[in-house]
Amino acid sequence: MRGWNPGSYAFWGLSFLWLAVNLFQAAFTELDPDEAYYRMYARELDWGYFDHPPAVAVMIRLGMAVAPGELGVRIGFALLQLGFLYFIWLLAGRPTGRREAVALLALLAAMPMLQAYGFVATPDGPLLFFAALFFYLYRQYLHHNGALHYALLLGAGMAALLYSKYHGVLLIFFILLSNLKLLRQPGFWLASAFGFLLFLPHLYWQYAHGFPSFLYHLKGRDDAYELKYTLTYLLNQAVIFSPLLFPLLIQALRSRPVGGEMGRAFYFTIYGFWAFFFYASFKGHVEPQWTAALSIPLVLLLYQQSLRSESFGRWVRLLSGITIALLLLARTELAFNWTGAKTEFNRRQWVHELQAEAAGMPVLFQNSYRDASKYAFYAGEMAYTFTDVDYRRNQFDIWDWEKALHNRRVLIGGRMSWLCGGCRELELTRKSFKIQVVDSLQVAQKVAIAPRGALPASWRPGQEVSIPLLLSNPYPHDIRFGKGSLPLQLSAVFYQDAVACSTPPARLFPDGALLPAGDSIEVAAQFTVPDSLGGSYQFGLGLRWGGLPPMLNSRLVDVDVE
Protein backbone atom coordinates (compact mmCIF):
# COMPACT_ATOMS: atom_id res chain seq x y z
CA MET A 1 0.00 0.00 0.00
CA ARG A 2 1.38 3.41 -0.99
CA GLY A 3 3.05 5.36 1.83
CA TRP A 4 3.20 2.35 4.13
CA ASN A 5 6.40 0.97 5.61
CA PRO A 6 7.47 -1.99 7.76
CA GLY A 7 6.46 -0.11 10.90
CA SER A 8 2.94 0.51 9.61
CA TYR A 9 2.43 -3.11 8.62
CA ALA A 10 3.72 -4.33 12.00
CA PHE A 11 1.63 -1.89 14.03
CA TRP A 12 -1.63 -2.49 12.21
CA GLY A 13 -1.15 -6.21 11.82
CA LEU A 14 -0.77 -6.54 15.59
CA SER A 15 -3.58 -4.02 16.18
CA PHE A 16 -6.06 -6.17 14.28
CA LEU A 17 -4.83 -9.21 16.19
CA TRP A 18 -5.56 -7.26 19.38
CA LEU A 19 -9.02 -6.44 18.03
CA ALA A 20 -9.67 -10.15 17.43
CA VAL A 21 -8.65 -10.95 21.02
CA ASN A 22 -10.96 -8.21 22.29
CA LEU A 23 -13.91 -9.47 20.25
CA PHE A 24 -13.35 -13.02 21.53
CA GLN A 25 -13.19 -11.72 25.10
CA ALA A 26 -16.29 -9.60 24.56
CA ALA A 27 -18.31 -12.58 23.35
CA PHE A 28 -17.23 -15.12 25.97
CA THR A 29 -16.98 -13.07 29.17
CA GLU A 30 -20.00 -12.50 31.40
CA LEU A 31 -21.18 -8.92 31.81
CA ASP A 32 -20.13 -7.00 34.88
CA PRO A 33 -23.18 -5.52 36.69
CA ASP A 34 -22.15 -2.00 35.69
CA GLU A 35 -22.09 -3.03 32.03
CA ALA A 36 -25.57 -4.48 32.45
CA TYR A 37 -26.64 -1.16 34.01
CA TYR A 38 -25.32 0.80 31.02
CA ARG A 39 -27.11 -1.67 28.76
CA MET A 40 -30.30 -0.53 30.54
CA TYR A 41 -29.37 3.02 29.49
CA ALA A 42 -29.33 1.82 25.88
CA ARG A 43 -32.93 0.63 26.16
CA GLU A 44 -34.04 4.25 26.48
CA LEU A 45 -31.67 6.67 24.74
CA ASP A 46 -31.61 10.17 26.17
CA TRP A 47 -29.33 13.21 26.32
CA GLY A 48 -28.19 12.28 29.81
CA TYR A 49 -28.38 9.81 32.66
CA PHE A 50 -28.06 10.06 36.42
CA ASP A 51 -24.48 8.77 36.60
CA HIS A 52 -22.97 9.62 33.20
CA PRO A 53 -23.41 11.43 29.89
CA PRO A 54 -24.93 9.42 27.01
CA ALA A 55 -21.95 8.23 24.91
CA VAL A 56 -21.84 4.82 26.60
CA ALA A 57 -25.55 4.26 25.90
CA VAL A 58 -25.19 5.20 22.23
CA MET A 59 -22.25 2.80 21.77
CA ILE A 60 -24.15 -0.08 23.34
CA ARG A 61 -27.30 0.66 21.34
CA LEU A 62 -25.31 0.60 18.09
CA GLY A 63 -23.61 -2.65 19.07
CA MET A 64 -26.89 -4.33 20.01
CA ALA A 65 -28.18 -3.52 16.52
CA VAL A 66 -25.49 -5.68 14.90
CA ALA A 67 -24.77 -8.50 17.37
CA PRO A 68 -26.61 -10.39 20.14
CA GLY A 69 -25.73 -11.06 23.77
CA GLU A 70 -22.53 -9.89 25.45
CA LEU A 71 -20.85 -9.27 22.09
CA GLY A 72 -23.59 -6.86 21.09
CA VAL A 73 -23.16 -4.87 24.30
CA ARG A 74 -19.38 -4.65 23.84
CA ILE A 75 -18.55 -4.73 20.13
CA GLY A 76 -18.66 -0.96 19.74
CA PHE A 77 -16.06 -0.51 22.46
CA ALA A 78 -13.67 -3.00 20.86
CA LEU A 79 -13.96 -1.15 17.55
CA LEU A 80 -13.60 2.19 19.28
CA GLN A 81 -10.26 1.07 20.71
CA LEU A 82 -8.99 0.45 17.19
CA GLY A 83 -9.67 4.13 16.52
CA PHE A 84 -7.90 4.97 19.79
CA LEU A 85 -4.81 3.08 18.57
CA TYR A 86 -4.91 5.05 15.31
CA PHE A 87 -4.64 8.40 17.05
CA ILE A 88 -1.88 7.14 19.36
CA TRP A 89 -0.03 6.00 16.23
CA LEU A 90 -0.38 9.49 14.76
CA LEU A 91 0.72 11.18 18.01
CA ALA A 92 3.78 8.91 18.15
CA GLY A 93 4.83 10.09 14.67
CA ARG A 94 3.76 7.02 12.68
CA PRO A 95 6.75 4.79 13.55
CA THR A 96 8.48 3.60 10.39
CA GLY A 97 10.68 0.86 11.85
CA ARG A 98 9.26 -2.54 12.75
CA ARG A 99 10.93 -2.58 16.18
CA GLU A 100 9.67 0.90 17.07
CA ALA A 101 6.11 0.07 15.98
CA VAL A 102 6.07 -3.18 17.96
CA ALA A 103 7.50 -1.37 21.00
CA LEU A 104 4.73 1.25 20.85
CA LEU A 105 1.96 -1.32 20.61
CA ALA A 106 3.56 -3.42 23.34
CA LEU A 107 3.53 -0.41 25.64
CA LEU A 108 -0.15 0.13 24.92
CA ALA A 109 -0.95 -3.55 25.49
CA ALA A 110 0.97 -3.47 28.79
CA MET A 111 -1.41 -0.88 30.25
CA PRO A 112 -4.01 -2.82 32.29
CA MET A 113 -6.61 -0.10 31.77
CA LEU A 114 -6.24 -0.29 27.98
CA GLN A 115 -6.55 -4.08 28.06
CA ALA A 116 -9.79 -3.80 30.04
CA TYR A 117 -11.36 -1.01 27.99
CA GLY A 118 -10.76 -2.86 24.76
CA PHE A 119 -13.81 -5.00 25.51
CA VAL A 120 -15.57 -3.77 28.68
CA ALA A 121 -18.60 -1.55 28.00
CA THR A 122 -18.17 1.49 30.27
CA PRO A 123 -17.90 5.26 29.73
CA ASP A 124 -14.11 5.01 29.94
CA GLY A 125 -13.90 3.47 26.46
CA PRO A 126 -15.36 6.52 24.68
CA LEU A 127 -13.40 8.80 27.03
CA LEU A 128 -10.08 7.19 26.04
CA PHE A 129 -10.92 7.39 22.33
CA PHE A 130 -11.94 11.03 22.45
CA ALA A 131 -9.03 11.94 24.74
CA ALA A 132 -6.59 10.56 22.14
CA LEU A 133 -8.52 12.39 19.43
CA PHE A 134 -8.47 15.59 21.47
CA PHE A 135 -4.69 15.47 21.96
CA TYR A 136 -4.32 14.98 18.21
CA LEU A 137 -6.70 17.82 17.35
CA TYR A 138 -4.89 20.09 19.81
CA ARG A 139 -1.58 19.33 18.08
CA GLN A 140 -3.12 20.03 14.68
CA TYR A 141 -4.67 23.26 15.97
CA LEU A 142 -1.24 24.43 17.16
CA HIS A 143 0.50 23.32 13.96
CA HIS A 144 -2.00 25.16 11.75
CA ASN A 145 -2.03 28.33 13.90
CA GLY A 146 -5.66 28.03 14.96
CA ALA A 147 -7.14 27.61 11.48
CA LEU A 148 -10.92 27.88 11.44
CA HIS A 149 -11.66 24.25 10.60
CA TYR A 150 -9.27 23.00 13.28
CA ALA A 151 -10.83 25.36 15.82
CA LEU A 152 -14.25 23.90 15.05
CA LEU A 153 -12.89 20.35 15.22
CA LEU A 154 -11.24 21.14 18.55
CA GLY A 155 -14.58 22.41 19.86
CA ALA A 156 -16.30 19.25 18.67
CA GLY A 157 -13.59 17.27 20.47
CA MET A 158 -14.34 19.14 23.69
CA ALA A 159 -18.02 18.28 23.43
CA ALA A 160 -17.24 14.63 22.63
CA LEU A 161 -15.05 14.39 25.74
CA LEU A 162 -17.83 15.73 27.92
CA TYR A 163 -20.46 13.50 26.30
CA SER A 164 -18.21 10.55 27.20
CA LYS A 165 -17.49 11.26 30.86
CA TYR A 166 -17.36 14.37 33.03
CA HIS A 167 -13.66 13.76 33.71
CA GLY A 168 -13.10 15.15 30.22
CA VAL A 169 -13.38 18.66 31.62
CA LEU A 170 -10.15 18.04 33.56
CA LEU A 171 -8.28 17.21 30.36
CA ILE A 172 -9.53 20.41 28.71
CA PHE A 173 -8.68 22.48 31.79
CA PHE A 174 -5.14 21.16 32.27
CA ILE A 175 -4.27 21.54 28.59
CA LEU A 176 -5.50 25.13 28.76
CA LEU A 177 -3.48 25.66 31.94
CA SER A 178 -0.39 24.40 30.12
CA ASN A 179 -0.77 27.06 27.43
CA LEU A 180 -2.53 30.18 28.71
CA LYS A 181 -1.70 31.95 25.44
CA LEU A 182 -4.75 30.15 24.08
CA LEU A 183 -6.88 32.69 25.93
CA ARG A 184 -5.60 35.38 23.57
CA GLN A 185 -6.54 33.44 20.44
CA PRO A 186 -9.97 33.97 18.81
CA GLY A 187 -9.78 30.42 17.46
CA PHE A 188 -9.75 28.95 20.97
CA TRP A 189 -12.77 31.02 22.00
CA LEU A 190 -14.54 29.89 18.84
CA ALA A 191 -13.69 26.27 19.70
CA SER A 192 -15.00 26.71 23.24
CA ALA A 193 -18.23 28.35 22.07
CA PHE A 194 -18.82 25.64 19.48
CA GLY A 195 -18.16 22.90 22.03
CA PHE A 196 -20.54 24.54 24.49
CA LEU A 197 -23.22 24.77 21.80
CA LEU A 198 -22.87 21.06 21.02
CA PHE A 199 -23.08 20.21 24.73
CA LEU A 200 -26.20 22.29 25.34
CA PRO A 201 -28.68 19.39 24.90
CA HIS A 202 -27.07 17.57 27.80
CA LEU A 203 -27.04 20.69 29.95
CA TYR A 204 -30.73 21.18 29.23
CA TRP A 205 -31.38 17.56 30.24
CA GLN A 206 -29.59 18.25 33.52
CA TYR A 207 -31.67 21.38 34.09
CA ALA A 208 -34.94 19.58 33.30
CA HIS A 209 -34.12 16.83 35.82
CA GLY A 210 -32.79 19.02 38.62
CA PHE A 211 -29.05 18.57 37.82
CA PRO A 212 -28.89 15.04 39.32
CA SER A 213 -25.46 14.13 37.90
CA PHE A 214 -23.76 17.33 38.97
CA LEU A 215 -25.20 17.20 42.48
CA TYR A 216 -24.23 13.55 42.87
CA HIS A 217 -20.66 13.92 41.63
CA LEU A 218 -20.02 17.17 43.48
CA LYS A 219 -21.75 16.33 46.80
CA GLY A 220 -23.15 12.81 46.80
CA ARG A 221 -19.78 11.06 46.98
CA ASP A 222 -18.45 12.81 50.11
CA ASP A 223 -17.57 10.46 52.96
CA ALA A 224 -15.83 10.88 56.29
CA TYR A 225 -12.09 10.78 55.61
CA GLU A 226 -10.19 7.53 56.10
CA LEU A 227 -6.45 7.13 55.51
CA LYS A 228 -7.13 4.03 53.40
CA TYR A 229 -8.74 6.19 50.69
CA THR A 230 -5.47 8.03 50.06
CA LEU A 231 -3.23 4.98 50.41
CA THR A 232 -5.45 2.93 48.09
CA TYR A 233 -5.46 5.74 45.53
CA LEU A 234 -1.66 5.94 45.50
CA LEU A 235 -1.29 2.15 45.25
CA ASN A 236 -3.85 1.92 42.45
CA GLN A 237 -1.87 4.35 40.30
CA ALA A 238 1.04 1.93 40.26
CA VAL A 239 -1.29 -0.98 39.50
CA ILE A 240 -3.33 0.50 36.64
CA PHE A 241 -0.23 1.78 34.82
CA SER A 242 1.56 -1.58 35.26
CA PRO A 243 3.53 -2.23 38.46
CA LEU A 244 6.50 -3.45 36.42
CA LEU A 245 6.59 -0.37 34.18
CA PHE A 246 5.70 2.23 36.80
CA PRO A 247 9.32 2.90 37.92
CA LEU A 248 10.21 3.51 34.28
CA LEU A 249 7.23 5.87 33.99
CA ILE A 250 8.61 7.93 36.86
CA GLN A 251 12.03 7.97 35.23
CA ALA A 252 10.55 9.09 31.91
CA LEU A 253 8.69 11.89 33.67
CA ARG A 254 11.93 13.10 35.21
CA SER A 255 13.74 12.95 31.84
CA ARG A 256 10.99 14.94 30.04
CA PRO A 257 11.55 13.36 26.59
CA VAL A 258 8.80 15.42 24.93
CA GLY A 259 9.22 19.17 24.70
CA GLY A 260 7.34 22.15 23.36
CA GLU A 261 3.65 22.84 23.79
CA MET A 262 2.64 19.19 23.46
CA GLY A 263 5.12 18.21 26.14
CA ARG A 264 3.71 20.85 28.47
CA ALA A 265 0.20 19.55 27.74
CA PHE A 266 1.32 16.04 28.68
CA TYR A 267 3.03 17.05 31.91
CA PHE A 268 0.27 19.39 33.07
CA THR A 269 -2.31 16.69 32.37
CA ILE A 270 -0.39 13.99 34.26
CA TYR A 271 0.46 16.03 37.33
CA GLY A 272 -2.89 17.82 37.27
CA PHE A 273 -4.91 14.58 37.24
CA TRP A 274 -2.78 13.02 39.95
CA ALA A 275 -3.03 16.10 42.17
CA PHE A 276 -6.76 16.53 41.64
CA PHE A 277 -7.62 12.95 42.54
CA PHE A 278 -5.14 12.96 45.42
CA TYR A 279 -7.23 15.83 46.80
CA ALA A 280 -10.41 13.88 45.99
CA SER A 281 -9.11 10.97 48.11
CA PHE A 282 -9.64 13.17 51.19
CA LYS A 283 -13.35 13.29 50.35
CA GLY A 284 -13.93 9.58 49.71
CA HIS A 285 -12.87 6.57 47.69
CA VAL A 286 -11.25 7.29 44.31
CA GLU A 287 -11.95 4.70 41.62
CA PRO A 288 -8.77 3.52 39.84
CA GLN A 289 -10.15 4.15 36.35
CA TRP A 290 -10.70 7.85 37.00
CA THR A 291 -7.11 8.52 35.85
CA ALA A 292 -7.24 6.08 32.92
CA ALA A 293 -6.86 8.92 30.39
CA LEU A 294 -3.29 9.35 31.62
CA SER A 295 -2.44 6.15 29.74
CA ILE A 296 -2.12 8.34 26.63
CA PRO A 297 0.61 10.80 27.70
CA LEU A 298 2.37 8.19 29.86
CA VAL A 299 2.68 5.69 26.99
CA LEU A 300 3.89 8.40 24.62
CA LEU A 301 6.49 9.59 27.14
CA LEU A 302 7.72 6.03 27.69
CA TYR A 303 7.89 5.49 23.95
CA GLN A 304 9.88 8.66 23.29
CA GLN A 305 12.27 7.93 26.16
CA SER A 306 12.85 4.41 24.79
CA LEU A 307 13.87 5.99 21.46
CA ARG A 308 16.33 8.28 23.22
CA SER A 309 17.99 5.56 25.33
CA GLU A 310 18.74 2.07 24.02
CA SER A 311 19.15 0.58 27.51
CA PHE A 312 15.86 2.18 28.62
CA GLY A 313 14.18 0.77 25.52
CA ARG A 314 15.42 -2.75 26.26
CA TRP A 315 13.90 -2.60 29.75
CA VAL A 316 10.64 -1.24 28.34
CA ARG A 317 10.38 -4.07 25.82
CA LEU A 318 11.24 -6.75 28.39
CA LEU A 319 8.85 -5.53 31.09
CA SER A 320 6.10 -4.86 28.55
CA GLY A 321 6.36 -8.44 27.31
CA ILE A 322 6.13 -9.88 30.83
CA THR A 323 3.17 -7.64 31.66
CA ILE A 324 1.32 -8.60 28.47
CA ALA A 325 1.77 -12.30 29.22
CA LEU A 326 0.36 -11.84 32.72
CA LEU A 327 -2.57 -9.78 31.44
CA LEU A 328 -3.44 -12.37 28.83
CA LEU A 329 -3.51 -15.04 31.53
CA ALA A 330 -5.84 -12.85 33.58
CA ARG A 331 -8.10 -12.27 30.59
CA THR A 332 -8.26 -16.00 29.87
CA GLU A 333 -9.33 -16.57 33.47
CA LEU A 334 -12.07 -13.94 33.10
CA ALA A 335 -13.48 -15.73 30.06
CA PHE A 336 -13.26 -19.33 31.31
CA ASN A 337 -12.85 -19.08 35.11
CA TRP A 338 -10.45 -22.05 35.21
CA THR A 339 -9.31 -21.31 38.77
CA GLY A 340 -12.81 -20.82 40.19
CA ALA A 341 -11.92 -17.33 41.46
CA LYS A 342 -14.96 -15.25 42.40
CA THR A 343 -15.37 -12.10 40.32
CA GLU A 344 -18.31 -10.10 39.00
CA PHE A 345 -17.60 -11.64 35.59
CA ASN A 346 -18.55 -15.21 36.61
CA ARG A 347 -21.52 -15.19 38.97
CA ARG A 348 -24.58 -15.12 36.73
CA GLN A 349 -25.94 -18.44 38.05
CA TRP A 350 -27.83 -16.66 40.83
CA VAL A 351 -29.98 -14.94 38.19
CA HIS A 352 -31.42 -18.20 36.91
CA GLU A 353 -31.94 -19.52 40.44
CA LEU A 354 -33.84 -16.39 41.47
CA GLN A 355 -35.83 -16.46 38.23
CA ALA A 356 -36.99 -19.99 39.08
CA GLU A 357 -37.97 -18.78 42.55
CA ALA A 358 -39.95 -15.88 41.07
CA ALA A 359 -41.94 -18.28 38.87
CA GLY A 360 -43.00 -15.59 36.43
CA MET A 361 -43.47 -12.76 38.95
CA PRO A 362 -41.60 -9.49 38.34
CA VAL A 363 -38.67 -8.97 40.71
CA LEU A 364 -38.15 -5.71 42.62
CA PHE A 365 -34.67 -5.35 44.13
CA GLN A 366 -33.95 -3.30 47.24
CA ASN A 367 -31.11 -0.80 46.74
CA SER A 368 -29.37 -2.49 43.82
CA TYR A 369 -29.46 -1.09 40.32
CA ARG A 370 -26.60 -3.52 39.61
CA ASP A 371 -28.56 -6.64 40.56
CA ALA A 372 -31.67 -5.42 38.73
CA SER A 373 -29.66 -4.74 35.58
CA LYS A 374 -27.84 -8.06 35.58
CA TYR A 375 -31.07 -9.93 36.29
CA ALA A 376 -32.78 -8.18 33.38
CA PHE A 377 -30.00 -9.11 30.96
CA TYR A 378 -29.55 -12.77 31.88
CA ALA A 379 -33.16 -13.58 32.79
CA GLY A 380 -34.42 -11.88 29.64
CA GLU A 381 -37.11 -10.16 31.71
CA MET A 382 -37.63 -6.63 32.94
CA ALA A 383 -36.39 -6.05 36.48
CA TYR A 384 -36.82 -3.11 38.86
CA THR A 385 -35.20 -1.56 41.88
CA PHE A 386 -36.12 1.02 44.48
CA THR A 387 -33.88 3.29 46.52
CA ASP A 388 -34.49 3.75 50.22
CA VAL A 389 -32.82 6.12 52.66
CA ASP A 390 -29.84 3.78 53.15
CA TYR A 391 -28.66 3.96 49.54
CA ARG A 392 -27.80 6.42 46.80
CA ARG A 393 -30.08 7.44 43.95
CA ASN A 394 -29.50 6.18 40.40
CA GLN A 395 -31.03 6.18 36.94
CA PHE A 396 -33.90 3.91 38.01
CA ASP A 397 -35.09 6.82 40.17
CA ILE A 398 -35.45 8.94 37.02
CA TRP A 399 -37.15 6.36 34.83
CA ASP A 400 -40.80 5.62 35.57
CA TRP A 401 -40.63 1.91 34.73
CA GLU A 402 -41.92 1.02 38.21
CA LYS A 403 -45.44 2.02 37.10
CA ALA A 404 -45.76 -1.44 35.55
CA LEU A 405 -45.70 -3.01 39.04
CA HIS A 406 -48.67 -1.18 40.54
CA ASN A 407 -51.31 -3.42 42.12
CA ARG A 408 -49.35 -6.49 40.97
CA ARG A 409 -48.01 -9.55 42.74
CA VAL A 410 -44.25 -8.93 43.04
CA LEU A 411 -41.21 -10.73 44.47
CA ILE A 412 -39.02 -8.38 46.50
CA GLY A 413 -35.31 -9.26 46.63
CA GLY A 414 -34.06 -7.45 49.72
CA ARG A 415 -30.74 -6.89 51.40
CA MET A 416 -29.70 -9.25 54.16
CA SER A 417 -29.95 -6.29 56.57
CA TRP A 418 -33.73 -6.05 55.95
CA LEU A 419 -35.47 -6.58 59.31
CA CYS A 420 -38.56 -8.33 58.06
CA GLY A 421 -41.21 -10.54 59.60
CA GLY A 422 -42.74 -12.27 56.59
CA CYS A 423 -39.64 -12.73 54.46
CA ARG A 424 -37.20 -15.61 54.24
CA GLU A 425 -33.49 -15.88 53.52
CA LEU A 426 -32.52 -17.30 50.15
CA GLU A 427 -28.98 -18.59 49.55
CA LEU A 428 -28.08 -18.66 45.86
CA THR A 429 -24.82 -19.29 44.03
CA ARG A 430 -22.51 -16.51 45.25
CA LYS A 431 -25.50 -14.37 46.21
CA SER A 432 -27.93 -14.04 49.12
CA PHE A 433 -31.27 -12.26 49.41
CA LYS A 434 -34.18 -11.90 51.77
CA ILE A 435 -37.28 -12.42 49.66
CA GLN A 436 -40.98 -11.87 50.13
CA VAL A 437 -43.93 -12.12 47.79
CA VAL A 438 -46.06 -8.98 47.93
CA ASP A 439 -49.70 -8.77 46.91
CA SER A 440 -51.06 -5.52 45.42
CA LEU A 441 -47.84 -3.51 45.55
CA GLN A 442 -48.66 0.19 45.84
CA VAL A 443 -46.12 1.99 43.67
CA ALA A 444 -45.34 5.39 45.19
CA GLN A 445 -41.60 6.08 44.76
CA LYS A 446 -42.15 9.46 43.11
CA VAL A 447 -44.94 10.73 45.36
CA ALA A 448 -43.92 14.18 46.66
CA ILE A 449 -44.46 15.01 50.33
CA ALA A 450 -44.38 18.61 51.54
CA PRO A 451 -45.08 19.89 55.07
CA ARG A 452 -47.85 22.48 55.22
CA GLY A 453 -46.22 25.33 57.08
CA ALA A 454 -42.88 25.79 58.82
CA LEU A 455 -41.40 23.01 60.91
CA PRO A 456 -40.05 23.64 64.43
CA ALA A 457 -36.31 24.33 64.47
CA SER A 458 -35.71 21.99 67.39
CA TRP A 459 -37.32 18.90 68.88
CA ARG A 460 -36.81 16.75 71.96
CA PRO A 461 -36.05 13.02 72.03
CA GLY A 462 -39.31 11.16 72.61
CA GLN A 463 -41.41 14.16 71.56
CA GLU A 464 -44.74 13.46 69.85
CA VAL A 465 -44.83 15.46 66.62
CA SER A 466 -47.87 16.18 64.48
CA ILE A 467 -47.35 17.58 60.97
CA PRO A 468 -49.92 18.50 58.32
CA LEU A 469 -48.72 17.26 54.93
CA LEU A 470 -49.52 17.63 51.26
CA LEU A 471 -49.08 14.39 49.28
CA SER A 472 -48.88 14.78 45.49
CA ASN A 473 -49.26 11.80 43.18
CA PRO A 474 -47.57 12.14 39.73
CA TYR A 475 -48.60 8.65 38.63
CA PRO A 476 -51.53 7.72 36.36
CA HIS A 477 -52.83 5.33 39.04
CA ASP A 478 -54.54 5.70 42.42
CA ILE A 479 -52.47 4.85 45.50
CA ARG A 480 -54.08 3.41 48.62
CA PHE A 481 -52.39 3.36 52.01
CA GLY A 482 -52.76 0.19 54.08
CA LYS A 483 -53.43 -2.08 51.08
CA GLY A 484 -51.63 -5.37 50.33
CA SER A 485 -49.31 -7.68 52.24
CA LEU A 486 -46.68 -4.91 52.53
CA PRO A 487 -48.93 -1.87 53.08
CA LEU A 488 -47.72 1.59 52.18
CA GLN A 489 -46.92 3.69 55.25
CA LEU A 490 -45.08 6.89 56.15
CA SER A 491 -42.00 7.50 58.33
CA ALA A 492 -39.89 10.41 59.44
CA VAL A 493 -36.18 10.29 58.59
CA PHE A 494 -33.25 11.91 60.37
CA TYR A 495 -29.87 12.10 58.59
CA GLN A 496 -26.60 12.71 60.39
CA ASP A 497 -23.21 12.25 58.66
CA ALA A 498 -25.00 10.56 55.73
CA VAL A 499 -26.47 7.89 58.07
CA ALA A 500 -30.27 7.68 58.19
CA CYS A 501 -32.39 6.94 61.26
CA SER A 502 -36.06 6.39 60.49
CA THR A 503 -38.98 6.31 62.88
CA PRO A 504 -41.51 3.46 63.06
CA PRO A 505 -44.49 4.02 60.74
CA ALA A 506 -46.23 7.29 61.49
CA ARG A 507 -49.92 7.45 62.28
CA LEU A 508 -51.54 8.80 59.16
CA PHE A 509 -54.95 10.46 59.19
CA PRO A 510 -57.24 9.73 57.48
CA ASP A 511 -56.48 6.05 57.97
CA GLY A 512 -56.23 4.08 54.71
CA ALA A 513 -56.11 7.30 52.69
CA LEU A 514 -56.60 7.19 48.94
CA LEU A 515 -54.21 9.31 46.86
CA PRO A 516 -55.91 9.77 43.47
CA ALA A 517 -53.98 9.60 40.20
CA GLY A 518 -52.41 12.94 39.27
CA ASP A 519 -53.91 14.62 42.33
CA SER A 520 -52.95 15.83 45.83
CA ILE A 521 -54.45 15.32 49.27
CA GLU A 522 -53.85 16.87 52.66
CA VAL A 523 -53.26 14.50 55.59
CA ALA A 524 -51.97 14.70 59.16
CA ALA A 525 -49.03 12.58 60.28
CA GLN A 526 -48.01 11.85 63.87
CA PHE A 527 -44.70 10.27 64.88
CA THR A 528 -42.37 10.07 67.85
CA VAL A 529 -38.84 11.49 67.72
CA PRO A 530 -36.54 8.52 68.56
CA ASP A 531 -35.07 8.62 72.07
CA SER A 532 -31.63 7.76 70.68
CA LEU A 533 -31.27 11.02 68.74
CA GLY A 534 -29.25 14.04 69.78
CA GLY A 535 -27.57 16.83 67.82
CA SER A 536 -28.07 18.40 64.41
CA TYR A 537 -29.88 16.47 61.67
CA GLN A 538 -31.43 16.79 58.26
CA PHE A 539 -35.08 15.86 58.52
CA GLY A 540 -37.25 14.38 55.79
CA LEU A 541 -40.32 12.23 55.21
CA GLY A 542 -40.59 9.02 53.26
CA LEU A 543 -42.99 6.30 52.23
CA ARG A 544 -42.23 2.68 53.06
CA TRP A 545 -43.57 -0.79 52.31
CA GLY A 546 -44.16 -2.59 55.59
CA GLY A 547 -40.91 -3.16 57.46
CA LEU A 548 -38.65 -2.00 54.61
CA PRO A 549 -36.72 1.23 55.22
CA PRO A 550 -38.52 4.30 53.87
CA MET A 551 -37.77 6.01 50.62
CA LEU A 552 -37.11 9.75 50.71
CA ASN A 553 -40.10 11.63 49.28
CA SER A 554 -39.56 15.14 50.65
CA ARG A 555 -36.93 17.83 50.77
CA LEU A 556 -34.47 17.73 53.66
CA VAL A 557 -34.52 20.51 56.26
CA ASP A 558 -32.11 21.20 59.12
CA VAL A 559 -33.39 20.46 62.63
CA ASP A 560 -31.85 20.08 66.09
CA VAL A 561 -32.77 17.37 68.56
CA GLU A 562 -31.88 18.53 72.06
Full DSSP string of 152-208: HHHHHHHHHHHHH-TTHHHHHHHHHHH-GGGGG-HHHHHHHHHHHHHHHHHHHHHHH
Amino acid 510: pLDDT: 85
**DSSP per position, 199-221:** HHHHHHHHHHTTSHHHHIIIIIT
Task: Report how far residue 137's alpha carbon sits from residue 130's, in angstroms, rounded to the nearest whole number.
Answer: 10
Amino acid 4: pLDDT: 81
Confidence at 345, pLDDT banded by 50, 70, 90: confident
Is residue 248 predicted with pLDDT exceeding 60?
A: yes
Confidence at 336, pLDDT banded by 50, 70, 90: confident
Q: For 252-310, what is each residue's pLDDT tens digit?
A: 999 999 999 999 999 999 999 999 999 999 988 999 999 999 999 999 999 999 999 99
Residues of the chain with pLDDT > 70: what percent? 99
Task: Report how far residue 94's alpha carbon sits from residue 100's, in angstroms, rounded to the nearest whole number.
Answer: 10
Amino acid 431: pLDDT: 94
Angle (CA) 243-245-246 rounded to 5° is 65
Q: For 385-396, what is each residue's pLDDT tens digit?
A: 999 999 999 999
Average pLDDT over residues 337-366: 92
Q: Which of 105, 50, 164 is nearest to 394 (CA)?
A: 50
Instruction: Determine how β-strand 448-451 pairs with β-strand 464-472.
Output: antiparallel
- Strand, helix or coil for residue 330: helix
- Strand, helix or coil for residue 480: strand
CB 234 within 8 A of CB 279: no
Return mean pLDDT, the chain.
Answer: 94
Amino acid 340: pLDDT: 79
Q: For 438-480, what is each residue's pLDDT tens digit?
A: 999 999 999 999 999 888 888 999 999 999 999 999 999 999 9
CATH topology of domain 448-561: Immunoglobulin-like (2.60.40)
Q: For 120-132, what is each residue's pLDDT tens digit?
A: 999 999 999 999 9
Q: For 33-76, what is each residue's pLDDT tens digit?
A: 999 999 999 999 999 999 999 999 999 999 999 999 999 999 99
CA distances from 99 to 17, 93, 258, 313, 316 (A): 17, 14, 20, 10, 12
Amino acid 325: pLDDT: 96
What residue ranges of the chain are covered by domains with CATH 2.60.40.770? 448-561
